[in-house]
Structure 1
């Protein structure tokens, strides 16, 4: 009686094991990245200024704007950008241009231009903002006096 080779069974076992291993890897989530925004201009189309000279300082703030409330009119002397984490927010510049943001939306904010944000929604709006300034420079300046 001729003895059967076990090679085909061994080969099928290896292929099956390898396919199980590779399918296990594809089910596991891998790190990823997503560009939210990249721009040479702020949200209303104004060109961004050059970065200031001096010792660099990065600041990161989380702001919470309660429902049906408004931030004071202000401006930023430095480049800044953010991402709305929760809620809705409308940003208005001194010319009446508006940007309506929803959860997850990015923004490249205005520089040296008076503006404000308002939350017209029923839940708090939370936004993380990154400021690229220098050690002796303010990042937010509240408007003093009436607007034009």
Structure 2
């Protein structure tokens, strides 16, 4: 019992005189541009009722997404793994966890995970009601 009380008193006195550590909130702009990752200009936002979508995509190791395009402006951040994005013009972007992307619009592309862990990316789409956010490319 004496050992227990001594331990409690030691902890109490050890914390005395120390100011509590407090941190202020911070923000960090990850990306800002008028251009997509391949250098193309972003289009104007479409007319209509705005609709925001947020999608988490998981790409298994050693696999790739089908070729597709986005008819709306979108941007994302790779949360986990690595991802290589290739557009139909032959431009390539290699991403690692934490990297942001401003995606191409109306241009066929695909992502591939050449790594050994799943790649997870969260994508924010700025679309309109009734407009698709992802369209699979025709073979």
Query: So what's the TM-score if we normalise by structure 2?
Result: 0.86
CA distance in 2 between counterparts of 1:96 and 1:45 reads 13
Q: Which residue of 124, 128, 131 corresponds with 2:125?
A: 131
Q: CA deviation at 1:81?
A: 0.1
Deviation of residue 96 (structure 1)?
Answer: 1.2
Q: Report 1:48-87 matches (<5 A).
A: 48-87=42-81
Distance 1:95 1:110 in 2: 11
Cα drift, residue 95 of structure 1: 1.4
User: Could you say which residue in structure 2 is the equivalent of 1:24?
Assistant: 19
Cα distance in 1, alignment partners of residues 105 and 19 from structure 2: 49
Q: How do 1:93-108 and structure 2 match up within 5 A?
A: 93-108=87-102
> In the alignment, which residue of structure 2 is the partner of 1:15?
none
Structure 1 unaligned regions, length at least 5: 1-19
**Within 2, Cα distance between the matches of 1:136 and 1:62?**
20
Q: Indicate whether 1:144 and 2:123 are aligned.
A: no
* Matches of 1:24 and 1:111, distance apart in 2: 51
In 2, Cα distance between equivalents of 1:99 and 1:129:
16
Q: Please, what is the CA RMSD of the aligned residues?
A: 1.1
Cα deviation, residue 136, structure 1: 0.9
Q: Which has the higher helix share?
A: 1
Aligned residues: 123
* 1:43 maps onto 2:44 in alignment: no
Which has the higher Rg, Structure 1 or Structure 2?
1
Kindly report structure 1 stretches of 4+ aligned residues shifted beyond 6 Å.
none
